[in-house]
Copies of this chain bind each other. A is one copy, B any other.
C-alpha cells in the first residue's frame, strides 16, 4: 500500500494561534467524560473533586501525589494549539516534573483521540530534556532537533501519516571569480578533502540558515580571501546524496565579478589564496582526472568565453508577501517580462 505523505511544498504552518485549547477551568478538564468505553477508569470515578496539578511547583509533585490526583480522574490537560492540518502542538516553556508530564500527556492524548486529532507535536526546549523519555514512552518519535530544542511527534489516526518531512538538504556554493586578466581566484584549504593534495580550488562554503545563495557566495569569497565581489549567475548545480549524516546536498556553482583585487586570506581554514590563470586552474591533474570537476571547469571556461548562459537571481514576492529569489535564464529576460500571459 502506498504510503501517503504530506508532500506539498507549501508552508506547513504549525500552529494557528488564534485557536487554542483554553481551559474550561484553568485547563482542568474531567478525564474522558464522553466515551466511557475508551476510558481507562470506570465512570464512577468521574466528577470527583478536582485538584490542580498546575499550581504546584514541579519539584514537589511526587509520583504518589500524581497517582492520587489521577485516581480522582481530574487531570490538568496540557495546553495545546491547533495546527492547520487537524493536529495540535504543545510547546512546553516552563519546567515540569517528568511524572506530572507523563500523567498529563497521557490524559491529553485520550482527549485528543476523542477529538479525532491527527498529528500531535511536542516542542521541548533542551532545558526540559527530563521530559523526553516520558514522551517516547507515550509513543512519540523524534521529528527534528535544533541545538536548543527537540521536536517530537505522534500520529494518532489508524490511517497512514501525512506528517511533513524534516529538512533533507544542506545547500552549498562554489564561487568562480575571474578578473580581466583571465585569472581566477583560488585557495588551498588547511582541512578537509583537499588538504595536502596541492589542489587550487575556488572558494566554497555552506549557505547559512535563512541566507540566499547569491549572498552566501559573496560572503564566502570575502571571508576566505578578503575580495569583494558581485553575484552574476548560477552556472550549474549538482545534487548529491548521503553527504553527511545520511542527508543530501545541493551545490551551486556561481559566477561572481570581482569588485576588489587585494587578497587577505582567512588564517584558520585557508592555507593560501591567489589569482591564477584560468587555463592553469582548469589544467590541474586533480580536476582533469575527476569527471565532475572537469565538467564544472569546462562550464566555467565556456562562461569565460561568453558563450554560456546560466541562471541569474531576481528578487520577487511570493503569494504570502515574502521576498524570495527566483533564479532563471535572464538571456530571455526582456521577452519573458514583456509577455502577456492573459491571452
A residues in contact (CB < 8 Å) with B: 2, 4-5, 7-12, 14, 85, 126, 129-130, 132-133, 135-136, 141-151, 164-174, 189, 191-194, 204-210, 212-213, 220, 223, 235-251, 268-269, 279, 282-283, 286-288, 290-299, 301-302, 307-311, 314, 316-319, 322, 324-329, 331-332, 335-337, 339, 341-343
Contacts and interface: CB of A to CB of B under 8 A. Distances in A.
B326 A236 contact: yes
A241 to B, nearest CB: 5
Interface SS of A by simple majority: mixed
Given A309-B331, A327-B237, A145 B144 contact: yes
B143 A7 contact: no
B209 A168 contact: yes
B170 A141 contact: no
A183 B129 CA distance: 55
Contact of A244 (B5, B164, B171, B308): B164
A168 B172 CA distance: 11
A144 B245 contact: yes
A291 B317 contact: yes
B151 A147 contact: no
Given A142-B150, A147-B141, A336-B299, A209 B328 contact: no
B311 A236 contact: yes
Contacts of A247: 167, 209
Contacts of A251: 9
A334 to B, nearest CB: 11
A314 B295 contact: yes
A283 B340 CA distance: 9
B145 A142 contact: yes
Given A133-B133, A235-B328, A167 B165 contact: no
Nearest to A171: B169
B324 A240 contact: yes
A250 B251 CA distance: 12
A223 to B, nearest CB: 8
Contacts of A249: 9
Nearest to A210: B241
A308 B336 contact: yes
